[in-house]
């Protein structure tokens, strides 16, 4: 393991290679603070997320590259949920001293890969501009603070859903939690590789979030970090509404269906309660639904309607595969009830 200042210089060198001559970066790594320029008329978005060894990842089945990729992606997903564009990020590392230079390089390569994919899809780079390093006696930790921006009139929150809105979700549900189950049980069953990949390297739906916000389609939006059951309740609680989901409409991958059948489990349990999906859950007023469906038809966005917002008095309900209606209870990820790994 190299010394702290040599490590900082190594990180700075990599950051400068990835952030050449951007006029929005007045000062990057190397001073007491970074200095950036924000765009006029935009709201500044700020989010932070921490990944802890044995809580959010396990080095037994996660590479340093995958950890770095995921660490940035989960923060990108928060900006996506607001309809914003990520711009700059800072990384704070808690290192145990067991990590090699190659491990640290791989960690940053993972973050760089997530940033690079973003810059291709949005044609807008997201730059590493600073951070901190410290010795950790409780396992590896990585904390990222991400700054983004969004035009004030296009910003989407989770507290503005209205009865009558349709509930949509991007992508598919349940893959990440099934993937984690495979990893934790050390199951090497053929044909299910896509499931662990969804857990280890989730893709933030930044392009989709930006498109929805720009078109002013959603009334409310959230990313699925804790699980559909928990995150929908965040929307209903903060918006003061009820909701009803229909399990039969959930977008489920064929891989998850085959996996659930093999394991003798129900795919809708993974879909309802599995965390770390990082798909977008959003509410659409009826007047905007045709515009969204046209975007879906033309493959500009992959999304499906899975329910509807109701008046608060109805509570939050789920129509099961068997047609029975029951009250939805949150059982997704909760940091203070359970560990993810």
Which tens digits make up the pLDDT trace of 313-324?
A: 999 999 999 999
CATH assignment at residue 184: 3.90.650.10
Q: Are residues 229 and 135 in the same domain?
A: no
Strand partners, 282: 168, 221
Tell me whether residue 341 is in a domain.
no
User: What domain range is 40 assigned to?
Assistant: 4-154
Tell me whether residue 123 is in a domain.
yes
Q: What is the pLDDT of residue 22?
A: 65
Q: Is 166 a residue whose pLDDT tops 50?
A: yes
Q: Is 7 a residue whose pLDDT tops 80?
A: no
Q: Are residues 171 and 149 in the same domain?
A: no
Q: What is the pLDDT of residue 339?
A: 47
Q: What is the pLDDT of residue 124?
A: 77
Both tokens of residue 200? 């280890």
Q: Is 335 a residue whose pLDDT tops 50?
A: no
CATH assignment at residue 73: 3.30.1330.10
Tell me whether residue 334 is in a domain.
no
Q: Are residues 11 and 81 in the same domain?
A: yes
Q: Are residues 122 and 247 in the same domain?
A: no
Q: Are residues 139 and 182 in the same domain?
A: no
Both tokens of residue 257? 């269906």
Task: Among 129, 154, 179, give the residue marking a domain's end.
Answer: 154
Q: Are residues 200 and 307 in the same domain?
A: yes
Q: Are residues 149 and 172 in the same domain?
A: no
Residue matched to tokens 């200095």: 35
Tell me whether residue 141 is in a domain.
yes
For residue 75, what are the CA distances in angstroms to 79, 201, 203, 255, 273? 7, 13, 11, 27, 21
Tell me whether residue 79 is in a domain.
yes
Cβ atoms of 73 and 114 closer than 8 Å: yes
Q: Which residues lie closer than 8 Å to 115 by C-beta, 6 or more apart? A: 18, 72, 89, 125, 126, 127, 128
Task: Among 154, 188, 211, give the residue marking a domain's end.
Answer: 154
pLDDT band at 27 (very low <50, low <70, confident <90, very high): low
Tell me whether residue 266 is in a domain.
yes
Q: What is the pLDDT of residue 256?
A: 96
Q: What is the pLDDT of residue 34?
A: 63
More confident residue, 120 or 86: 86
For the segment 233-260, the average pLDDT, to the nearest whole number, is 97
pLDDT band at 13 (very low <50, low <70, confident <90, very high): low
Q: Are residues 197 and 280 in the same domain?
A: yes
Tell me whether residue 14 is in a domain.
yes
Q: What is the pLDDT of residue 37?
A: 73
Q: Are residues 146 and 180 in the same domain?
A: no
The region of weakest confidence among 8-17, 147-156, 229-238, 255-264 is 8-17
Q: What is the pLDDT of residue 230?
A: 93
Q: What is the pLDDT of residue 6?
A: 61
- Sign of torsion over alpha carbons 330, 331, 333, 337: positive
Q: Are residues 101 and 235 in the same domain?
A: no
pLDDT band at 185 (very low <50, low <70, confident <90, very high): confident
Tell me whether residue 272 is in a domain.
yes
pLDDT band at 340 (very low <50, low <70, confident <90, very high): very low
Q: Is 26 a residue whose pLDDT tops 90?
A: no
Both tokens of residue 202? 């989730």
Q: What is the pLDDT of residue 285?
A: 98
Q: Are residues 111 and 207 in the same domain?
A: no
Residue matched to tokens 């699925």: 224
Q: What is the pLDDT of residue 183?
A: 92
Q: Is 198 a residue whose pLDDT tops 60?
A: yes
Tens-place pLDDT, residues 253-304: 999 999 999 999 999 999 999 989 999 999 999 999 999 999 999 999 999 9
Task: Among 154, 180, 198, give the residue marking a domain's end.
Answer: 154
Q: What is the pLDDT of residue 120?
A: 82
Q: Are residues 117 and 240 in the same domain?
A: no
Both tokens of residue 39? 């765009």
Give the closest residue to 184 by CA, choosing from 200, 203, 165.
200
Q: What is the domain count for the chain?
A: 2
Q: Is 188 a residue whose pLDDT tops 50?
A: yes
Cβ atoms of 177 and 274 closer than 8 Å: yes
Give the closest residue to 3 by CA, choosing from 110, 131, 108, 97.
97
């Amino acid at each position: 393991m190299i010394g702290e200042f040599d490590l900082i210089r190594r990180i700075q060198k990599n950051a400068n290679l990835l952030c050449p001559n951007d006029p929005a970066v007045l000062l990057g790594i190397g001073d007491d603070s970074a200095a950036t320029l924000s765009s006029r008329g935009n709201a500044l978005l700020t989010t932070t997320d921490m990944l802890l060894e044995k809580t959010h990842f396990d080095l037994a089945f996660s590479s340093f590259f995958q950890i770095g990729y995921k660490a940035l992606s989960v923060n990108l997903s928060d900006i996506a949920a607001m309809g914003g564009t990520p711009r700059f990020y800072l990384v704070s590392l808690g290192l145990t001293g067991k990590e090699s230079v190659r491990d640290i390089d791989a960690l940053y390569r993972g973050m760089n890969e997530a940033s690079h994919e973003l810059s291709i899809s949005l044609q807008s780079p997201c730059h590493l501009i600073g951070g901190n390093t410290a010795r950790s006696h409780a396992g590896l930790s990585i904390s990222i603070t991400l700054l983004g921006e969004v035009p004030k009139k296009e910003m989407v929150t989770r507290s503005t859903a209205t009865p009558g809105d349709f509930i949509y979700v991007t992508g598919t549900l349940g893959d990440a939690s099934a993937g984690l189950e495979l990893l934790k049980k050390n199951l090497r069953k053929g044909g299910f590789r896509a499931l662990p990949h969804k857990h280890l390297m989730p893709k933030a739906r930044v392009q989709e979030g930006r498109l929805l916000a720009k078109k002013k389609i959603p009334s409310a939006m959230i990313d699925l970090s804790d699980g559909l059951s928990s995150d929908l309740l965040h929307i209903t609680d903060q918006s003061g509404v009820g909701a009803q989901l229909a399990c039969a409409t959930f977008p489920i991958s064929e891989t998850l269906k085959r996996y659930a059948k093999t394991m003798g489990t129900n795919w809708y349990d993974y879909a309802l309660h599995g965390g770390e999906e990082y798909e977008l859950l959003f509410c659409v007023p009826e007047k905007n639904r045709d515009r969204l469906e046209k975007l879906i038809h033309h493959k500009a966005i992959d999304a499906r309607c899975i329910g509807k917002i109701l008046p608060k008095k109805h509570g939050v309900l789920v129509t099961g595969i068997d047609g029975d209606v029951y009250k939805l209870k949150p059982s997704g990820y909760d940091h203070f009830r359970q560990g993810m790994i």
